[in-house]
Amino acid sequence: MTVQNLIENTGWKMMSGSDTAEIASAYVCDLLSWVMAHAHEGAAWVTVQAHLNVVAIASLLNLACVIVPENIEIPAATLAVAQEKGICMISAPCTSYGAAMVL
């Protein structure tokens, strides 16, 4: 499934980046160091974290997208850097569990 398919099927809102990436897997975790050590390239990462370090990790691991649940506000500075680095940030109204179930 591509990020575009995910957005079309859920109605979630793409906040930055491109929707062309293929989602190879999913990873749900809020501990950034754990994500760096265990998430895999192409994963859709679900996290309540919405700061600049999330973008850095998503870029480092070449993740398909970052899904921020519960309509948590993503700061403009984070979205600007995500757009610059081509990181797809998605806002979802559901919980992390709900996002995981969809994935």
The residue type of 41 is: E
Dump pLDDT digits (tens) for 20-75: 999 999 999 999 999 999 999 999 999 999 999 999 999 999 999 999 999 999 99
Sign of CA dihedral 38, 33, 100, 81: negative
Please state the rounded mean pLDDT for residues 66-85: 98
pLDDT of residue 26: 97
Q: What is the mean pLDDT of residues 85-102?
A: 98
Asked if 50 and 73 count as a contact pair (C-beta separation under 8 A), the reply is yes
Q: Exposed/middle/buried for 11, CB within 10 Å: 0-12, 13-18, 19+? A: exposed
pTM of this structure:
0.97
DSSP per-residue codes, 24-40: -EEEE---HHHHHHH--
Q: How far apart are CA 101 and CA 22, in angstroms?
A: 18
Report the distance separating Cα 64 and Cα 40, nearest Å.
10
